[in-house]
Structures are given as structure tokens and as C-alpha cells.
Structure 1
Amino acid sequence: MAFCTSTDINCEPCLYNSISVPGKGWCLSCEEGLCQSCVDSHKRRLATKNHKIIEKCHHVASIRHLMSQTCKNHNTILDRYCPFHDDPVCSLCILEKHTNCKGILSLDNVAKNVASSSSLFSLQQNIANLVKNLSQLNKVRTRSSKQLQSDKIVKYTSVRAMRKRLDKHLDTLEEKLLQELSSKAGTCETEINNSLSEIESKTKAAYAVQSNITLLKTMATDVQLFLAIRDIDTSVTTETNWLREFANQHNTDELNLDLNTKPMEDLLRTKSLGSVRIDRIPNHVPINHLNMKEAQIPREAMCNGIDQIQLYQKIHIQYHNEKLVEILFGCIISSNGDIILADGPSKKFTVFNEGGNHIKDIHLPGTPSDLTEISQGRIAVTYGNSKKMEIAEIKDYHYKTVISVRTVASCWGISCDNGQMAVKLLTERINLYDTNGLRIQQIKVEESCPHYINDITIAHRHIYYSYPYQNSVFCLGLDGTLIWKYESDFLQHPRGITTDGYGNVYVVGRHSKNLIVISKDGQNGRELLKCNITPWSVHFDKHYNKLLVRDSEGATVYKVAFRL
């Protein structure tokens, strides 16, 4: 995480004349330092008198590179924003790469109120999380160091006590064991000290970012703050990924010294007193980081709801099977970007890459109904009338059953979130399982019709399911309490259901042939898409804000954006 820390600002107009004069002010429009004389001249000139000048500029040097509004490709002013590519652009960028992009916006309008935007709030949360994570790792490593010293002392005492019970014959063997103990302890100390050194370095850099954010909020323009956020977020995400990898590589393990000695009667016949082993006890240190893949739109637009949501078609997959028309089938975008479609009649998953190209067919032990991703490489699948669900691993596009769970009735819709899986059974109930297939709760559903299949999703500590018989969508608490019920004339026979990262609910209507979005409070709905082909299932990829809609002839991936 590299940031400029110099506090020296020189007057750049004077430098053009080979005169080095300390800067007394900084022009945000010209992006250059000014001495007092040039500040006065700047304010008198017609072309520059309305420029904003920061007269106490000793902190500007550390953030000047973040406040630049110049296009790196064309050296022109960045004054437009492309919502489709989520990029600030200049006029030349538009001519080169964005001629077909719709809805190009003014950067001034997009950056308006950025100081109170969701993106800045998330970035500050991520920086705070980064500092907190580093602090936790520091505590873990420090505690491990103290424990190591305690272990070392205890083991030394044990060795000395044993030594006193032996003759001179054991002197050499005792020393050999102590040397090994000291060597292993030294190995542990070196590992911990190296970890602490890295953590301290990252912590200093994280505090520097926090300081820069504070300065940017008070000194930069909205546009400059908007642009700076993007650069800083990239650095913070990189550091968080490093931190997660750091924690996963046994860098947080407790290091204990285990002394294995031989029976006393064997000591006189041996050439060694024992051996020293390093025991690792994993420490789970959660790494918190908010995903900020969405376009940086003011928080009001993000949280507002559904009026700002807009879909951009990315790819279309043609996949037709006559037998699928009357069978429930699920679909997901996996964490590695693969698009997986369940094909019940053929007892397989059909997998496409993010470009829509067919990769592989994964053959299954039964007729799949719905699927959900538990973690990368691990999924859960329901098998409908077979009255079972399975937790399985997918490695190199091969299916391996890990756990098979029998259910009391046909099981259809399934969804996983935050370590819990919700499964909708044909009867009047929803079962909650952990990711090892252990049932943790059974929820009674008051409104149901056994002749219809219900799709389900779990997110934000709520359960949502569609109910075709009443053209309704239900939202329940994890204890089964009804939070809200949504009904509308333009949603007929609702089926597939999913949610985005803000709690908005997306559901397809089979008979109304449309896709609607429902506000997170269940009070309002809006039609997002009118379909020519009957839609069946839908999945929202929260990592990249993509929406997968499947119909009887294929599937379409849309990019979800918030327009102003």
C-alpha cells in the first residue's frame, strides 16, 4: 500500500521560470501549487478568479495524486461517466470505446453528494475493518509469543528436573535435547516476529489511508473525492486480499512446544533423551471486508429502492430442451463466474463460462430440481420427488456426493446464506439446515398449496418464497414470523426468486412473462423486464451485480446498475 507522504509543495508557475519557491496555496482546478504572489495573481485573473484555492496546503502533497481529474490515457479532463462500464471518461474515451454505450452521464452529477455516498461509507468501513483485522492479528501473534515463552520455560523445567535424576552419563544427551528445544523455539519466534513485522507495516499504511480519507473529505472537490475513492478502494481491496491469504497460510496458528521423553529405564540405553515437536493450533481470525463492485452512486440511490434499478443485457445462452417445459429447474452464477443450469430430464448440470460458451456437462445421481452454492467448489442440490437433498463437491467439473439428507416430503427450492440453508418442502413447511446437512429448525408455513412448487431464497436473515397459487411473495423471519406479503395483478404465477445486496427482491412471473423487483420492505414493486419466453428461475450474483434469468429456451445474464 504505497502512498505519497511528502509535505513539500512548490510553486509550479515559478518552477516554469526555473525559480524554486515554497507553495503557500493549492489550486484544485489547475492541480498545482502556488506561492503567495501567484495566489494573489490567480485571484485577480478573469480566467482563474473563480478557482478554489486551498491556502493551507501542507497536507496536499500526500493526496495530490488522488485528487487528479486528468484522464491517464489522453491527458484531458475527466468530465463524463459511463454507467455500463462503471468508468469515468473524457470526451476522447467516449469516441474510442463508448460510442455504443447508452446513458452517458455528467461526472459532476454522478459525483454530487459523494461525501455522503454508499461507496465512501463502504470504503471507510473497509479501512476501519482493515485496521481492526490487523489489530486482531497483532493480538493473536503477541499472545502466541507469550504462550511460547511460557511453554519454553515449562519444558526447560521439565528437562532440568529429569536431568537431576540422572548421572553424568546423561550430560551430553541433556544438552542435545535442550539445543533442539531452543532451536524449535527459535523457529517459532522467528515466524511470529516476521508476522508481527508485516502486520505492523500494514497497520501503519492503513492508518495513513485513514488520514488521507479525512483530508480528502475536507479539502478535495466532489469529483476529486469520487476519483480518489476508486484508487484507494483498489489498494484497500488488495490489502484485504493479502490479509485473508495471510490468515489462511497458518500465520495465525498457535505454536506450542511438545516434549516427548522416553521412560527413565530406557535412558541409559539410548543416545537421545527425546524429541521436540511444534504443534499448530489454528486460530480463526475473521477478515471483514465489504464488497464494492457496484458503480459508485450516492447512497440515497443505492438504498432507495427500485426506481433507480436498470438492466443491461450482457450475454444470452441458447439452451432448449422440450422436456424442461413442465419441470422446475434452478440456475446459479458460481463464485468462479461459471453459469450452471440444472437439466432435470437429462440428470445433469450444464455449465457455461461467463462469456456464454459451453464448458462441460456434469452428470448427477438423480433428477435435480434446484441448487445453491455453499462455498467455492461445494454446492447443495435438491432432488424433488426423490425426497432428498445432497451436499456435493464439484472438482474439475465432476460431481462427488459428500452428504445425502432424506426429507419427509418432496423438496424443491433451496438457498444458502451465511452458513444456513433454507429448503422449501412440498408440504406446509420450510426446513433450515447448516452447511453439514444438520437440520436446525423447521418452520411452519400457514399459507400453502400442495399442488404447487415454491421457489425460495434466504438472505439478510430473512426467508423469501414465491407462492404461485395466490400470485404472492412472502417474506419471513428466521423464526417463521411473517414480515410482509406482496401481491400484484402484474405478477401472475410467480416462480424463481432471489435478492440483491440491498434487500430488493427479484421474482419472475411465469404466466405474466415478466421479471419484477420488490422493495426490501415489500411495499412497492416494479416491472423490470417483459419476456417473450416464459421465465422460470432467477439468480442474483452479489459479487458482480449480475442477474441470471432462465426461461424455457435458455438463459440471459444482465448487468444491474442504478441510474440517477
Structure 2
Amino acid sequence: MASNFSGSLTQDSDEIKEMYCEECDRHGDGYATAVAFCVECVDYLCVTCLRYHKRQFKTHKIQDHNNMPQDFYFQKCSTHPGQLVKFYCIECNKEACQECKDNDHVNCSDVNHLPTLASDIQKSDELINFSKNMDQLSKDIKDTEKVLNAKSEVIKKQEENATDTCIEHSNKLIATYKQQHQDLIDEFDKKMEETIARLKKERLELLQKVSEKKRKFEEKVRQAETDIKEEVVSTNPNFKKLKSEHLNLVGNLKALTVDIEQAQKLGKNCELFIKLKLAKQMCKHIQVTSDQIQLSYIQRYKLKESDIQPTIQSLEDQTRFFSFDEVRVSAVEKKITFNFDINHEFGSITSLLVLSEHRLLTSNYNRRSLVIFTLEKSKAEYLKETNFNTSPRGITKVSDNKVAVTFPDEEMIRLITFSEEMDVLDTTEIPGHGCCCDIAYSNNHLVVSYYKSFTGSIKILSMSGKIVKSFDRDDNDQNLFTYPQYLTVSPDNSMIYISDSGRNIVTCLTSDGKVKAIYKDDQLKYPQQLAVDEYGSVYVCGHDSNNVHQLSHDLIKVKILIDESHGILGPKSIAYCQHTKRLFVGMYRNCKIKAYNVTLKNKLLNQFQSH
């Protein structure tokens, strides 16, 4: 390295380039070959620029092509990309363009033209001394390489010795460890053989004991199965007799038909007359008997498995494995058929109330009135409208022709008595204790729903308006309601059903305010008025979901009874008539109340009426 370095500095293999005109490059006039150099401006000039330069700067010293600096440095300034590096500051030890010289090195005393400064570099002591230093550095590096190679051999030998020692020691440790483990396994195997012999004996004894227990348990389960089958068979003991009676009716009807037809064919009019009279009496008997068979009650039930943890001990202790659960009528699906429309001019109906099979009372919040309709078999007609100073909201029947009505804007409840012609005979005002929404009559008390600032409550009032009970918090001290709009009570007055529009749920409370059940369904949105029938089925309007849900007495979803396909949109109010088995549905911003007939599926309604 040292012997070749000095020679390499003198071997210039770079391509010889010609200098271009800096003035043309600076002003974007393209490339032009430089033919002269201005010493004062330190600029290379082409023929054209030289001519103009001489005119403008007559005193500047100009060097022609042969005498101008030939060592061209084409590096552009990193700070001023449009300027060539033409100077070098000895003080700052830094290269510079014209702008750098004029701005950054204005106070420097030793800023020189780079080609001029470098003209004698090839023969300078600096280059000669640098070459000597580089030769010595190259020799030192070679010596260092020899030292490193020697040390590498020492390290390699140490690594080999350490690796051999490590492998030898590791093999000894592993062999010792394996032997000790083998000793443990051999000792365990010996104990295992002894234990297996003992366990085999114990297993044989256990098998005998378990086999006897299994036999007894199977006998107990089979006996329970036999008992429940007998109980199932005996649930409807008269059904076979009913079928036999029905067959007798069919035979009697057929015999009567044959006798009449035969008398007609033979032309025996007297005999036909007598047989016809007898046949008419017999047909009446057949009809009565047939109706009785149809009206016969059938016990409906659901077989349930016993609710026990399936462990050996619990199964052995169990004495009853099956149970009957009576299917409440409220859980049986209903079906509806359209009966008629009640057309009116009163806009939205807020609440509906069936006063009797011939009277339908409605509240109209926007018109501040109660509107009464007369009901017939397949139609209804407007009867009367009673107006008030503020808007009525919830309505409930207290007795024949007497109702209780909430007036939330006045925080008041009015007990209103009507005449037979549905004129107002008497009005009694009692305190409403706040924004009273809906109301129901139960056990000589009034059940009222209240709303205030995204919370609500249910209060039980005496008929004079005194608060008897109030329910607003659950057992975890959380709000029971968000917006309890409507409510109703079960037929036996033991349950209160509340539609909470703020939470899209229906809540069932016991008479002492305990939460019995909650109904929430994605297909029930913004629930409104509720109704119950004589069997305990609950009907609730889904205003925003455009449907009516049928629920069981314990708020289990039975079905969506009515939806848009039945002609409803935005159902808000609902009422049920027990006498006519009709369901009335009022809609928001709609001058129509729809009446539907309600029956049980498969014509089973009469089977439950005797229940």
C-alpha cells in the first residue's frame, strides 16, 4: 500500500473538460464555451459575453484562452445551487461560491480564487507530506493486520479448548441426570405394579357396587316414566268417550238420512211425515250433543324435566324426574280477522277504552276532548264529544258509566260520571301529584304512571287522590323507568303492565312493586298503549315498529299479532272488548280506528272458556 500510494496521486486519468461561460449559465442563455477569464470578476466568458464585458468594464484584466486558469472545478454550491464553487477560505477552511464569499466570508481576510490557489498543489509540501503520511499509515495498517491475525489464532485455540471442555462436561451431566431419572422411573414402576394390583381388586368391588346402584336407579327412572305416562293418559280421560259419542252421532245421522230417503222413494207420505217429525227432534238432539262435544274442555299441558344438577348424588336422591306445567291460555296464539273501520274526523286518538259492548270512549289530546262512539255488530258511529280546557290523556273505567281521566297539564285527575245518553252528569277532581300520564282502576284504587326528566314512576292512589304506594326504584336502587307512558292491570289485579317508550320495553310489576318480568324485542319500538283480555294475554302497540305484539301473562312473546299487512301505521292506542272478542287499534295522525275479531288458533277458544 505504501509503495503505490505516492504514484497514484500523480496519475490523473480524469477526462479533460472545457470551461463554459458562467454569464450565459447564470442568465439561462444555454451552454457556451468559455474563451477568456476576467480576473477581477473571477468569471469565465464566451466570445459574446467577453465583447460586452470589455465595453462595460474596460479596466478589468482579461486572460485569453491560453492564459486563463485551466483547472476547472464544476462543483455547484450546496447553499446556492445556481453558483459554481470558485473560492476557498483559508481561515474557515471551507469552499465558497461568489454569494457565499460576498455574504458569509465578507470579514475573512484570506479568501482566494480556487484555481489560482490550487495551481501549484502538485508540487506543494502539503501534498508531498500527505503522501508520506499515507505511506506510513498504510505500513501501520499492514502491521496491525499481522497482530490481529496472531491474536485471532490465540482466540480460536481458546474457543476450541472451551468448546471441547463444555461438550465433555455436558455429556457427563446429561448421563448422570438420565441415570437418576431412570432410577426414579424404575422405583415408580415397581410401586405402580403394586398399586395396579390393589386398584384392580378395588375396581372389581366398585363395579359390583355401581352395577347394583345402576339397576336400582334405572328401575326408579322407568317407574317415574311409567307414572308420568299414566298421568298423561289420565289428563283427558273423557276424550275417548267424546270420540265414541261423536261416532254414534254420525251413525244416527246416517240412519235418519236413510229412513227419510227410503220413505221418499216408496211414496209413503204418512210414514215420511211421521219420520220427518221424529228426525227433526233427533237432529236437534244431535246438534246439541255435537255442540257439547265441541265445547268440551281439553287440559293443555307441557311436560318438563326435573330441574336438577346431573350429578350421581343428586340423581340418586331425586324422587320425581318429570312434572306437568299447565299451559296458561295467555300463552296460546291468537289470530285476528278484520271486522270494520271506525272513520272519524278527530285526528290522533290518544287512548281507547271499551265502556261496554256498545260504547267506545276515546281521548283526543290535541282536541282537548273525550269522544264517544256507539258500537254495533259490524260498524260504529260517532255519538258525542265532550270538550275540556286542557288535554285529557289516560282513561279507565271505574264503574258503569263512570271513568277516571288524567289531565297531565293540570296535574289533575277527574272522575267523570255519564248518563245513559253519555252526557256528563258529575265531575270530581282529585290531585294528580305531577305529570300523570296513563291510569288504570284496580281494587278500588287508581294506578297512575308519571313522567319527569327522563325518569318516571308508578303510584297507587286512593279514590280521593291520596298516595298509597309509589314505585320508581328497583332492588338495586336503579331507576325503574325512563318514559312510562301507558299501563294496564291483569284480570286478577295482581300484575301491573307498563310500556316504557324510553327503553323500548314492557315491564311487569307485582302489586307491591317488584319486577316480575321485562319484555324487550328488536321488533318492538316505542311501545304505547296496552290491553289485556280475560285470559291474561297482553297486547302492546309498537308505534315506530308498526305492529301489535301478543304476550303471555308473564311477558313471554307469543307472536306479532298485527303488522302493516293488516293496515296499521303508527299504532298508538288499543282496547279489548271481552263481550264481543274485538280488538280496537287507533293510529297516530290517522282518522281511523280499526276493529279486529280475536280468536284462538284452530277454533280452540271455546275449550278454554270453561276453564
Which of the five TM-score ranges fits, normalised by the shorter chain?
0.3 to 0.5
Structure with larger RCO (C-alpha < 8 A, sep 6+): 1
* Higher-Rg member (1/2): 2
> How does the TM-score come out when normalised to structure 1?
0.47
